[in-house]
């Protein structure tokens, strides 16, 4: 069986995705959780329903700061971001684009789709981005 290089596979996948519609761009896995410690330091933490340490407050449209940066990186690494939304997405401001991806994530994770990042949404995001 012939070997297929990872670069060739990624190129083929990118071309296929572009042919189908918009391309999703994901954050490198190494970036996920870069801001989590700073977030927990800035707002404190609470236990999620399954015992994860998650930020002590909820976040929604209009929120900003290091916790929103963590949220944006987690979203990018778990569900991907449409190519046209990628530039400037991780900016620490919870605006309409972040809201759109929070709701997309909540729906795909079978959570209440309300755009509010509370304990269950944080738990689901963090559990998918933590080794």
Alpha-helix residue ranges (DSSP H) falling in the chain: 6-20, 36-43, 66-78, 83-86, 96-108, 119-129
- Residue with the two structure tokens 């410690």: 37
- Verdict on whether the full-model pTM lies above 0.85: no
In contact, 23 and 80? CB cutoff 8 Å: no
- Delineate the domains of the chain, giving CATH numbers in brackets: 23-129 (1.10.101.10)
Query: Digits of tens for pLDDT over the chain (131 positions)?
Result: 444 433 343 334 444 444 444 445 554 443 556 789 999 999 999 999 999 999 999 999 999 999 999 999 999 989 989 999 888 999 999 999 999 999 999 999 999 999 999 999 999 998 888 76
Sign of the four-CA dihedral 90, 87, 113, 128 = negative
């Amino acid at each position: 069986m012939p070997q297929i290089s990872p670069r060739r596979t990624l190129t083929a996948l990118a071309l296929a995705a572009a042919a189908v519609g918009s391309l999703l761009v994901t954050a490198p896995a190494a970036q996920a959780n870069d801001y989590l410690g700073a977030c927990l330091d800035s707002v404190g933490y609470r236990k999620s329903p399954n015992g994860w340490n998650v930020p002590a407050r909820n976040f929604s449209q209009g929120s900003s700061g290091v916790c929103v940066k963590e949220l944006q990186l987690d979203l990018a690494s778990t569900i991907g971001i449409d190519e046209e939304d990628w530039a400037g997405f991780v900016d620490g401001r919870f605006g309409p684009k972040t809201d759109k991806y929070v709701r997309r994530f909540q729906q795909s994770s079978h959570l209440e789709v309300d755009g509010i990042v509370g304990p269950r949404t944080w738990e689901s995001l963090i559990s998918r981005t933590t080794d």
